[in-house]
Structure 1
Amino acid sequence: MLIYSDPADDGFARGPVYPDGPWRAADGIQRGSVAQIQLKAGDPQTPGRPSVKGARRIPPSQAPMLKGLVPTTPISYGAAEPLLRALNGDQVPEEWQGGLPFAYRFGPGGTKVHLDLKNTFQVRPLWDVTVRIPGSEHPEQEVILGAHHDAWTSVVVDVSRDIEQAKAWQRAAEALQARADAALRKGDTAAFRRLNDKIMQTERDLLTGAGLPGRPWYRPQVYAPGIDTGYATQRLPALNDALFVDRNVRSAKAYEARLFGSLRAATRTLAPEE
């Protein structure tokens, strides 16, 4: 199987491409498109645990992320263009038409590909890259930015209390943002650090030790990769999986109770100190 990112989703059809803009260039490949991150992200051999030196590792044959795989490789839309252009057959529905400048067709005929993949499973060291850029006005203040922090039927579950609690959480978050802005204007780094600690604790409040249904290593309750959405986020993933994947009302009610408790804890964490 060949997978590519179409320019209608990420490419020239959306705007200027790299290096002139943020969108994918014709030779850009999204390697993450072939990963089963809905089952497990990070090191496949240490599900739910940090991949550190000396960590207990499971064999690749037991890794959830590596099960049920088919030979797959990602390619760029530049490489996909001649393959798609050569296809014959009926034209695809309008909603399947991508951004390349020709009609997409189902096939068959016109295209032949020889795919030869050689995959190996090896443990190799990785490094986190940390860069510090001192501010021109307040170099003593720190703002941390990160990418890929590794660290989404016919039954009824009442989530009305969760909605109200989420609104309370939102109000508390907006109030904390106002306090943080005031601290920055005053140059009160101590107050800003205390508020930052509250934000970090809130992230922990919104985790569940039980994990998601069938994926205990995924602990976020507000958003996570959907079981069949790849990179796309599934809101309230535990409730979604319990209701629409497992169709288990009892499980959904249990996860709803955990969600409510987490939202309440996060709201209390964001509250001003007395």
Structure 2
Amino acid sequence: MDNSKWYKRMNWFRNIFSTGRMKLTLYVALVLWAAVLTQIGVNRLFHEEIRITEAFIKSDTDHMESTLEMIGEYKKGEMTEEEKKAVINTIADAIGLKVDNDYTGWSDEERSELLVYKQAKQASTQIKLVSIKEGNTNKNYITIQLSLSNSIQNIDQYKKIVEDVLGTLDVKDEQVILKYEGSREGELSSEEKQELAENLIAELQGNVALKYDEGDLYTVYGYTGMLKEYISSMGNKINIQVVITYNEVNNRTRIVLATPILNESW
């Protein structure tokens, strides 16, 4: 039950009972229950994100990597370079990234970008602020891409950290993509690809919505009620995508699990 319903019930109870002590006791109790239910919702959401990571680990792949991609709209209007750096530094500080004044950027009449990119042994991070001129005003967007190798479980923690810091920056229309990828040696048969994709979706308590088999490219879209975000396509709700591709040069099969869908072409 959402908090608005609880507050409506609070008002209803307050109107019925006339005793001041009774009204105060009921009001406090209901506020506490609303807080408890809110925390349960947060814990459930975090647990569901962990389930996605656990599901991919069960796919038994090598060279696993997880990627967090986020984009959202920042405040409108002109921004100086120092203001843009301050926003980037706020995000970098939150995730423990040392910037060292390593900014790069470019601009033209319609668009400008300022970014920081860091590559470590088992992680890569890019934080970018993009300004686009629309009529008489500028729209500013923040994009973040964070990739982790091997310790893919930590991506869930970074997602929560980034969501919190974007909340403090009052970022609007935030979109989030979680992507997990790994590989197996050799080529999978059509039956093996189908079984692998369906097992991944089943681990997330989901159902297959659409599937496409193009030989070296096998794609499955699914939906699970575990995740609140979804898109609609051909009358289907979709918030899981599984892509399986084969590279005959290195004789390896690449497996990708994404929520809600990938933002890249294949």
What's the TM-score bracket when you normalise by the shorter of the two chains? under 0.3
Structure whose residues are more often strand by fraction: 2
Normalised TM-score (structure 1): 0.21
